[in-house]
Amino acid sequence: MRVAGGQVEISPLRWQRSRMLVTEAMVMAGAAAARFALERGLPFPYATQEVAEVSERAPTGLAAMVALRRNLRPRQYSSQPGPHGGLGLDLYAQVTSPLRRYLDLAAHQQLRAFLRGDTVLDAQAMIERIGAAEAAALLVRRAERLSREHWTLAYLQQHPGWQGEGVLVEKRLPRGTVLIPSLALEARVKVAENVTPDSVLSLRLTGIDLPERAAYFRVG
């Protein structure tokens, strides 16, 4: 998503094998750094996530994937090591984005100090940094979400005749939650009783309420 010449542009990211390679390398780096810190008793900002109860069978449709995502517990930072349920790891820390995440930077500083033989942060200092970073991160995530919603609706406001496809991922009559992949947007849409989850629906934009961050669609 970007704004060019006063117009909002939304385009999908191209899937590339290199993206998966980088993702896996980042996970490996985080797991290795967490293991290194734990084995040496180094206070560290571990990333943990409670293991959720999920079916042994992998979700086969988008509706099942969305339901699984909503069942996952929030990720948390902790000075105490613990499993990361979403990644399926016994130990993990985020260390690959020190320019945009403060605790990644704190992890780098801790590792460098240890390797150089300098004084490292003690457990209490690490706890204080984790608490301050988590409080700020909540505000940042909220700002990111609100900004994304605003500019998505601004795009739709500039395209009042928008039509596209959505996938029904949750059904609670008379409306259902529809995921619109091309916009990365979820909307509540009135659906017929015989429409089943994972059905692909043709949608038409019917209105925008920018102050309320709401977009309205109808099927057909």
Instruction: CATH number of the domain at 213, please.
Output: 2.40.50.140
Determine, yes or no, domain membership for 151.
Answer: no
Q: Has residue 32 been placed in a domain?
A: yes
Identify the H or E element spanning 104.
helix 102-116
- Structural domain contains residue 193: yes
Single out the residue of 116, 117, 95 nearest to residue 106, CA to CA.
95
Q: Are residues 81 and 171 in the same domain?
A: no
Question: 180 lies in a domain?
Answer: yes
Same domain for 52 and 115?
Answer: yes
Collapsed DSSP state (helix, strand, coil) of residue 184: coil
Residue 20 within a domain: yes
Same domain, 77 and 173: no
Same domain for 67 and 18: yes
Report whether pLDDT(64) > 90. no
Please give the C-alpha separations between residue 192 and each of 60, 114, 173, 196, in angstroms, as whole numbers: 23, 62, 8, 9
- 176 part of a folded domain: yes
Task: Using the 3D structure, point to which of 76, 99, 121 is the last residue of a domain.
Answer: 121
- Position 212 in a domain: yes
Q: What per-residue confidence (pLDDT) applies to 70?
A: 81
Domain encompassing residue 42:
13-121
Q: Which two tokens stand for residue 92?
A: 């993990």
Secondary structure of 45-62 in HEC code, one letter for each residue: CEEEECCCCCCCCCCCCH
If one counts the domains in the chain, the total is: 2
Angle between helices 17-39 and 102-116 (to 10 degrees): 50
Please report whether residue 139 resides in a domain: no
- CA-to-CA dists, residue 59 to 54, 56, 69, 85, 186, angstroms: 10, 9, 11, 16, 19
pLDDT for res 174: 87
pLDDT over threshold 80, residue 59: no
Enter the tokens of residue 156: 């739709």
Q: Is the pTM of this model over 0.85?
A: no
β strands within 20-174, DSSP E? 46-48, 76-78, 163-172
* pLDDT bucket at 56, cuts 50 / 70 / 90: low
